[in-house]
Structure 1
């Protein structure tokens, strides 16, 4: 029985040793061999990208001079027009109450004129006979002339309300014409729509929008962290989402003095004048990106930005430099501008130093084989 007991204990100890050896082997990994890279000379450009759209520099809204109903539209969106070209015609639909009131004013003015005319004729006879003075006759003649003018004004008001023009023809006000030369961007109304004129209380109905498509500007936004680096006249590279593999030159002409908060970040509006060519047609409203070079340095010492490490307390950058075979020491450095890939080294490194690639990991395949 004792022999069996000792045999059981021995088997148990061997099992424990085998399990420990298996656990150690299955969880062991080979030591990582760190690679190194050396600093190099290169050109670095610090850029920012502003997102936005391209729009015509000037858009003119064509509005009617009189209220009415769209009778006919003679142009379509996209047509090129010259100043004075006919766009649409309006049929005047007078307000019944205003029309009746205007007709009443005409009748009253005519009654006043008849009375003034009778008085004038009677007193003219007396004046010719020397019965009344010259001053008295002049006052009567003035009232007579004022009555005639009042009738004319009332008749003109009536014609304007009735047909849209004092002369009886509504051509001047009911023919909607282009006020500038350009391209019709939009006609937001259709035949039969009712439109109202612009006045002190209403902007009026827009009949058409016209713009010069040869003068376009980029409108975008930049973050507040970069706005102080912008200067008017800086070159921009504008690319459009609808036009692949093509960039257009532009120059910065406006930076907003006031920012707007969007999703927790303050954005500032910028504008750039885009230089177009005759071979490419740019449509208003294209989404666009503008690349802006904030700073540029040529032939400077640099390393890949991924090699940088940062002190947890001071947050200052440093790298690890090889001193022997797989032996490294920390070296504090000072950095300059970065393009997101390479970063300028202003002090702390030389071209002969070998910098540790600290974030290299073992391939997934090798780890799986070890497990």
Structure 2
């Protein structure tokens, strides 16, 4: 029994000595540190816009491909438009007939003009007759009643002429109005037909083609994405960090397409409003030197440098326990005031001094 107790005691002492040998220590040191705000984001062109359909239908033609350059009014897509084309043809036919009807040689106007010509001839006859009867009356060769009858006939033929002339003008005005309305209808049909032919708004590069030939597209649905100008960096910053961001701050960019490299950029714009869709504030930056190969839409991570401090007191972050305590060499726990921290280092603002020896806390 005594030997067993001695063995157990020996084992415990051995374990305690082994544990003491495993205790990790460190000293408070001075180090240049940088504070940075993390942000995620992506690359986009300076000017990007979506080409969308103004009308629903089936895509007959889509001659563009990703990476191609397009200029203003280049064809992007054509939507099936046979019904609309027929409606335009009908409107053009109506306009053509309306123009013919409004010409002086149209049957309707020729008929009225013929009546006017007859009325003019009748007026001349009645005028001659009236003048003759008037002369005869001065000679008492005809009665006053006969003269008045001839005069009334002359006035009636004049009134008939005036009525026919007004009828002609009214008919001409109506036909010209019909021609004008038909012309407006043609223009409207042409404008509608333009919606079936989708063109580029301005010069740029085709970034994405979102539809294919034969595919159904709805009104307002995107067909292609066009971009131009320099590449810029779009960053999403949390509410906790946005107040730390200033224009001109340097930013280390890690692109998913360059897993082993970082690229420097500079903050150029801070959007003033919170983005509800992204649940973040949006910040823009520009590359100091653009990567040799770069693509719009590339995902990235960024560290925005917010401040630098030289000779700051730091300790390994793993030596902090309960958020604000360190363990001194004598085993005493002491509260410290910490500054910036990351997974590797924590800044010590006060509580301990340089070269203080600390023991790594046990988990």
TM-score, length basis structure 2: 0.68
The alpha carbon displacement at 1:329 in A equals: 4.1
Q: How do 1:76-87 residues align onto structure 2 when only pairs under 5 Å count?
A: 76-87=65-76
- Tell me: CA distance 1:123–1:206, structure 2 relative to 1, closer, same or farther (3 Å): farther
Which residue of structure 2 aligns with residue 199 of structure 1?
A: none
Q: Distance in 2 between matches of 1:27 and 1:19?
A: 13
Q: How do 1:110-125 residues align onto structure 2 when only pairs under 5 Å count?
A: 117=109, 121=113, 125=117
Instruction: Give yes or no for contact 2:268–2:285 (8 Å, CA) kept in 1.
Output: yes
Which residue of structure 2 aligns with residue 369 of structure 1?
A: none
Moved more, 132-141 or 220-229: 132-141
Which residue of structure 2 aligns with residue 185 of structure 1?
A: 207
Which residue of structure 1 aligns with residue 230 of structure 2?
A: 215
- Tell me: CA distance 1:57–1:119, structure 2 relative to 1, closer, same or farther (3 Å): farther
Which residue of structure 1 aligns with residue 241 of structure 2?
A: 226
Q: Distance in 1 between matches of 2:246 and 2:202?
A: 33
Which residue of structure 2 aligns with residue 288 of structure 1?
A: 300
Q: Distance in 2 between matches of 1:138 and 1:234?
A: 82
Which residue of structure 1 aligns with residue 351 of structure 2?
A: 348
Q: How many residues align?
A: 319
Given the alignment, which residue of 357, 360, 363 partners 2:359?
Answer: 357
Q: Aligned pair 1:145/2:173, yes or no?
A: yes
Q: Distance in 1 between matches of 2:115 and 2:11?
A: 132
Provide the secondary structure at the position in 2 that maps to 1:290.
strand
Q: Aligned pair 1:253/2:269, yes or no?
A: yes
Q: Distance in 1 between matches of 2:60 and 2:41?
A: 38
Q: Aligned pair 1:92/2:81, yes or no?
A: yes
Q: Aligned pair 1:302/2:314, yes or no?
A: yes
The alpha carbon displacement at 1:246 in A equals: 3.7
Q: Distance in 2 between matches of 1:73 and 1:127?
A: 66
Instruction: Give yes or no for contact 2:268–2:286 (8 Å, CA) kept in 1.
Output: no
Structure with the higher helix share, 1 or 2: 2
Given the alignment, which residue of 264, 281, 306 partners 1:269?
Answer: 281
What value does the CA root-mean-square deviation take over the aligned residues? 4.3
Q: Aligned pair 1:62/2:51, yes or no?
A: yes
Given the alignment, which residue of 315, 319, 322 partners 2:326?
Answer: 319
- Tell me: CA distance 1:18–1:309, structure 2 relative to 1, closer, same or farther (3 Å): same
Q: Residue deviations 1:147-191, cap 9 Å, x none? A: 234135436736975xx579xxx8x77654322111112233333
The alpha carbon displacement at 1:111 in A equals: 11
Provide the secondary structure at the position in 2 that maps to 1:215.
strand
Q: Residue deviations 1:263-302, cap 9 Å, x none? A: xxxx413231332756623212211111112332122222
Q: Distance in 1 between matches of 2:45 and 2:205?
A: 10
Q: Aligned pair 1:335/2:347, yes or no?
A: no
Which residue of structure 1 aligns with residue 29 of structure 2?
A: 40
Q: Which has the larger radius of gyration?
A: 2
Q: Distance in 2 between matches of 1:278 and 1:51?
A: 18
Provide the secondary structure at the position in 2 that maps to 1:94.
helix
Q: Distance in 1 between matches of 2:248 and 2:320?
A: 35
- Tell me: CA distance 1:48–1:66, structure 2 relative to 1, closer, same or farther (3 Å): closer
Q: Distance in 2 between matches of 1:261 and 1:176?
A: 29
Which gives a bigger RCO, structure 1 or 2 (Cα 8 Å, sep 6+)?
2
Unaligned runs of 5+ in 1: 1-13, 197-201, 362-371
Q: Residue deviations 1:98-133, cap 9 Å, x none? A: 679859976996998678636753675458965469
Q: Aligned pair 1:30/2:42, yes or no?
A: no
Q: Distance in 2 between matches of 1:217 and 1:59?
A: 11
Q: Distance in 1 between matches of 2:79 and 2:49?
A: 19
- Tell me: CA distance 1:190–1:156, structure 2 relative to 1, closer, same or farther (3 Å): farther
Q: Distance in 2 between matches of 1:238 and 1:347?
A: 33
TM-score, length basis structure 1: 0.67
Unaligned runs of 5+ in 2: 124-157
The alpha carbon displacement at 1:41 in A equals: 1.9
